[in-house]
Amino acid sequence: MAMPMESPISFTNVGKIRWWQRGIFASQTGYVLLALAVLLVIMHFASPYFFTQGNIQNVAKNFSFIAIATLGVTFVIIIGGIDLSVGSMMCFSAMITSMVMTELSTPGGLGASLFVHMAADGKTVLANVPGLILLVSILAGLGVALIAGLVNGFCIAVLGLSPFVTTLGMLSIVRGLGYVVSNGRGSFPGGPDADYFYALTSGDVLGVPAPFIYLVILALTMAVVLHHTSFGRHVFALGGNEKAAELTGIPVVRVKIEVYVICALAAGLQGIIISGWLGSAPANMATSYELNVIAAAVIGGANLAGGIGGPLGAIVGCVLLEVIRNGLVLAQVSSYWQQTLVGVIIILAVLVDRIRSRMT
């Protein structure tokens, strides 16, 4: 060819994308974040109570209660899937955790002799190793989530079933199992480790609610995993073009299963935290939470078609939902309006993004 190989490539025909047209500025997450900021300012003027320490703590705690599960669902949405079983999963994990805790803490219970003994007075139960019961019961709760996630992943990635149908089935299966193991009565965390359990789930550190701390740690981890590891790269590639991902040699089946397991584990952890706050794990706990969780992810900018989403968006979506709920309460609007408004916001958020992508 006539062209010498040494000449550097020039970009005469290819313009550089402006900074405000790329990254967060060009994403739905950016717009929703802006809307959230405006909403916060409005709330400040509308109600003198909004920015009080107590209310902010309350808001932070409340959105943390769905945000961890939203992080998990965001993973699934990025690969172009959906997980409807998160609500049931929260309940079942919480239930198993508190049942195992109670069982291990009851002298004479299954395997309890390893963990507890009676005090000299014959009434008080003491732990052999403080905290061990808590650890084992939380692992049991997460263990059932892991199994459910593996089953979801196997059915979707290996058997090729549709994610919607598979996880709809899992929603029912897991909820049903929750009723079976508890006889519909729900369960309560008990025994010598219950105080640790409450401290870890509904306590706070220097005024910051514990669930919020977990959320921040998990969200930062998720950001690193998504953007700085090859697993995260593969997750995005899978959502962008599954066939391409397969052709380039990405282990599609493995990545999919891992993503559904992550989602189930996040839901399980979320359920365990909620049960600590509620003080029990009723059999109807977190019913239809999957809709809130998915709504939060979508409002925050995760695209149900796959390929787009992130931890910031998940959190922003959850905060927006909670601030609106909180705001309606402060403004003394009937709480029945909340659901209606949430629906309007879901559609608005997606609509704004649609208009924006049409314009560029």
Partner 1 sequence: MASAEASPVLELTGIGKEFGAIRALHDVDMQVFPGEVVGLMGDNGAGKSTLVKIIAGNFRPTHGEMRFAGSAVHFSRPVDARAVGIEVVYQDLALSDNLTAAANVFLGRELKRKFGPIALLDHKAMAARALELFGELRSETRPDDLVKQMSGGQRQAVAIARTRLSNARLVMMDEPTAAISVRQVEQVLGLIHRLKEQGVAVMLISHRMPDVFAVCDRVIVMRRGEKRADKPIHETSPEEVTALITGAKEAA
Instruction: Name 215's bridge partners.
Output: none
Least distance (Å) between residue 233 CB and partner 1: 6
Q: Are 215 and 64 in contact (CB under 8 A)?
A: yes
CA-to-CA distance for 348 and 339, rounded, in angstroms?
A: 14
Residue 64's CB is within 10 A of a number of other CB atoms, namely 25
Least distance (Å) between residue 360 CB and partner 1: 9
Question: Closest CB to partner 1 among 8 and 207?
Answer: 8
Question: Closest CB to partner 1 among 12 and 340?
Answer: 12
Question: Closest CB to partner 1 among 1 and 206?
Answer: 1
Least distance (Å) between residue 307 CB and partner 1: 4
CA-to-CA distance for 143 and 93, rounded, in angstroms?
A: 8
Question: Closest CB to partner 1 among 16 and 123?
Answer: 16
Least distance (Å) between residue 228 CB and partner 1: 4
Diameter over CA atoms, the chain: 97
Least distance (Å) between residue 30 CB and partner 1: 16
Q: Are 298 and 349 in contact (CB under 8 A)?
A: yes
- Calculate the CA dihedral of residues 290, 296, 302, 305 and round it to 10 degrees: 40
Q: Are 285 and 186 in contact (CB under 8 A)?
A: yes
Least distance (Å) between residue 81 CB and partner 1: 15
Residues that bind partner 1 (CB under 8 A): 1, 3, 5, 8-14, 16-17, 22, 224, 227-230, 233-234, 236-237, 239-241, 243-245, 247-250, 307-308
Question: Closest CB to partner 1 among 44 and 228?
Answer: 228
Q: Please enumerate, as own/partner, the contacts of 31-35 that have beta carbons within 8 Å and a separation of 24 or more.
A: 31/349, 31/352, 31/353, 31/356, 32/299, 32/300, 32/301, 32/313, 32/316, 32/317, 32/320, 32/349, 33/312, 33/316, 35/320, 35/349
Burial class (CB in 10 A: 0-12, 13-18, 19+), 243: exposed
Question: Closest CB to partner 1 among 13 and 124?
Answer: 13
Least distance (Å) between residue 217 CB and partner 1: 16
Strand segments (E) across 34-168: 116-118, 125-127
Least distance (Å) between residue 12 CB and partner 1: 7
Question: Closest CB to partner 1 among 243 and 358?
Answer: 243
Question: Closest CB to partner 1 among 241 and 280?
Answer: 241
CA-to-CA distance for 40 and 37, rounded, in angstroms?
A: 5
Question: Closest CB to partner 1 among 24 and 125?
Answer: 24
Burial class (CB in 10 A: 0-12, 13-18, 19+), 76: buried
What DSSP state is assigned to residue 286?
Answer: T
Least distance (Å) between residue 249 CB and partner 1: 4
